[in-house]
Amino acid sequence: DGVTEVLACHSESLQDKFIEVPCSEDYNSHKRFEGCTPRKCGRGVTDAVITREEAERIRRIAERGLALGGSDGGASILDLHSGALSLGKHFVNLYRYFGDKIQDIFTEEDFALYRDVRQRIQQRIAQAFGISSASLYLTKPTFFSRINNTEAKTTHDEYWHPHVDKVTYGSFDYTSLLYLSDYTEDFGGGRFVFIDAGSNKTIEPRAGRVSFFTSGSENLHRVEKVRWGTRYAITVSFTCNPDHGIGDPVLM
């Protein structure tokens, strides 16, 4: 991997850390939205937006939902917006598959917390990049991930490949991750890695830590393979294009 530099250590509580990087040309091949499409690019980390207690409450939402299914391989996905849930080697629609039983699994309070956390992350991203929060729209996929060291069974389970969010999902302009478990305590491996020329920059997950970045190839990244334990996180993604916006999940 060459030289690795730790951008955010799991044992430190970071108020705000932001590193500006030159923007790639990825945004030029998409419709531009003045005052939102990145002109300032970079990556940030903060432990000051979501508390550890809130992260634990959100993780319990993920645990309850993923207990209904789960992938045969190392990575399981739960998307409360679309209802997508890993089940074996496939996905099912949580809301159709479980119907009215969903009311016994999630509460209105769960969805209110989810919404509140999403809004705070959105405001933090807007502040860091000098744009209006109202110009950002939640976009898909926005999802929980649960990763363990089980061997991958399908390509969906192979989460460790380097990728660019704007290339993978054209709608993404800003990506964020809220970590829901602790590196070295809950799992080993599983660090988030920005792949830069000359060196890699890693973020060590910590419950309540938010990392966020512009989604173009200025932020090529990957996740290390989880060696032991279970890593929980939620990916929350934003677009500048209102046509690609989605609403907050609603308890059916």
Q: Which residues are catalytic?
A: 231
- Kind of pairing, strands 199-203 and 3-8? parallel
Q: Would strands 70-71 and 174-179 be described as parallel, antiparallel, or unpaired? A: unpaired
Question: What span, in angstroms and rounded, lies between the C-alpha atoms of 99 and 92?
Answer: 12
Q: In this structure, how many other beta carbons lie within 10 angstroms of the beta carbon of residue 145?
A: 20
Q: Residue 105 CB: number of other CB atoms within 10 A? A: 15
Q: Give the C-alpha separation, 23 to 38, whole Å.
A: 8
Amino acid at 110: D
**How many Cβ atoms from other residues are within 10 Å of residue 28's Cβ?**
10
Which neighbouring-strand residues pair with 174? 214, 238
The CA–CA distances, whole Å, from 136 to 70, 95, 115, 242 equal 31, 27, 15, 8
Tell me, letter by letter, the H, E, C secondary structure of 50-93. Answer: CCHHHHHHHHHHHHHHHCCCEECCCEEEECCCCCEEEEECEEEE
